[in-house]
Amino acid sequence: MSNFVHIFNSRCRKVRVLLIKTSSMGDIIHTLPALTDAGRAIPGITFDWVVENTFVEIPPWHPLVNKVIPVALRRWRKGIFSRTTRAEWNQLHQQLREQQYDIVLDAQGLLKSAFLSFFTNGLRVGLDFSSARESLASLAYQRKCRVNFYQHAIVRMRSLFSQALGYTLPATPPDFGLTRLPSSLSLPSSQPYLVFLHGTTWATKLWPETYWIELAKLAEQAGYRIKLSGGNAEEMARAQRIGGACAAVDVLPRLTLADMAALLVEAEAVVAVDTGFGHLAAALNVPTVSLYGATNSAYTGAIGRTSVHLTAKFPCAPCVKRVCTYREPSVVTPACYGTLPPGYVWENVVRKLSSK
């Protein structure tokens, strides 16, 4: 252990870490404060980052990320024996082996990320059997770290990095270090606007469409434009329906991650369900009101200096289920969101706007 700590206390050489954190968008954003901690504790440290190709735009936004190594595990699973998959895997294998790292840190804690670590050059470090999301992943690591699973994901990542890299966990608020945000986005109107982030992966996390329309009309009455976009055809169709019901809504085309970040940065405020872009808005310190029903904000809530969580007050919330199983008559679906109506959400948006 003393030799291990000596490596990272050295001030005479560059420390190189390979970070494996492939997805999802929210998880990637939750990891950024840990990089900032490491940079303050270990001058000269840099990170190469293995990430799903869908999210390759995000890691370079942090100044300590030197190189991004894309993977396409989700796509490869669908064509595992195809020629394209074999060629891309061979290229990844070469990239993983070409650099000697001081530490290879698997911050994902899954079997797929642990598998990738075997093809690297460096001391493999990750979560122990009781801490990893998939316990058997811990068998791949040469050094294991114990981190309490029942705490916010940002705290978990900061704790893991501090143990893995041998420094004291700081008590400071999380600093996401988002200082490199390239974008070519150009907005035609200078009128102040809000961004509604309505899209998410689980049906149980979707705030009712009628609620979004009511909220847009409240924002319109207050003199704001509303910007909507979407990441797939279903989300774009929903955005069009909301836009069709309120003249103040501007429906934008599908945007790159960098352009979405630029859109969020200039917004007066953001309203979001539990989605990656909601975490990004909070990390960028844009006033953000996040809505939580099925998921637990204590573990995955969007955190930032100007963000707030609104959690559903309902007997079965948070259920952490992808399908709502509540059977009693309800005005809305998912039923728990009946406790987060548009008027209440707008009151919280107004509070954020007035505190700017």
Interval 58-68: pLDDT, tens: 999 999 999 99
Rounded distance between C-alpha atoms, residue 105 and residue 83, angstroms? 30
Select from 69, 54, 78 the least CA-distant residue to 18. 69
> What is the DSSP secondary structure assignment for residue 175, as one 8-state letter?
-
**Is residue 175 domain-resident?**
no
User: Can you give the pLDDT at residue 1?
Assistant: 41
Interval 334-349: pLDDT, tens: 999 999 999 999 999 9
Select from 303, 309, 258, 265 the least CA-distant residue to 284. 265
- Beta-bridged to residue 253, according to DSSP, are none
Q: Are residues 205 and 280 in the same domain?
A: yes
**pLDDT range class, residue 82, cuts 50, 70, 90:** confident
User: Can you give the pLDDT at residue 195?
Assistant: 98
Interval 175-233: pLDDT, tens: 999 988 877 677 766 689 999 999 999 999 999 999 999 999 999 999 999 999 999 99
Q: In what order do the strands lie in the sheet with 100-106?
A: 65-71, 45-52, 15-20, 100-106, 121-127, 143-145
**Is residue 170 domain-resident?**
no
**Is residue 232 domain-resident?**
yes
Q: Point out the domain boundary residue: 147, 165, 183.
A: 165
What is the pTM for the complete model shown? 0.92
Of residues 355 and 105, more confidence is placed in 105
Q: Are residues 287 and 139 in the same domain?
A: no
Q: Are residues 155 and 219 in the same domain?
A: no
User: Can you give the pLDDT at residue 79?
Assistant: 76
| CATH number of the structural domain spanning residue 321 | 3.40.50.2000
Domain of residue 197: give its range. 193-354
| Number of neighbouring beta carbons within 10 Å of residue 141 | 23
**Is residue 179 domain-resident?**
no
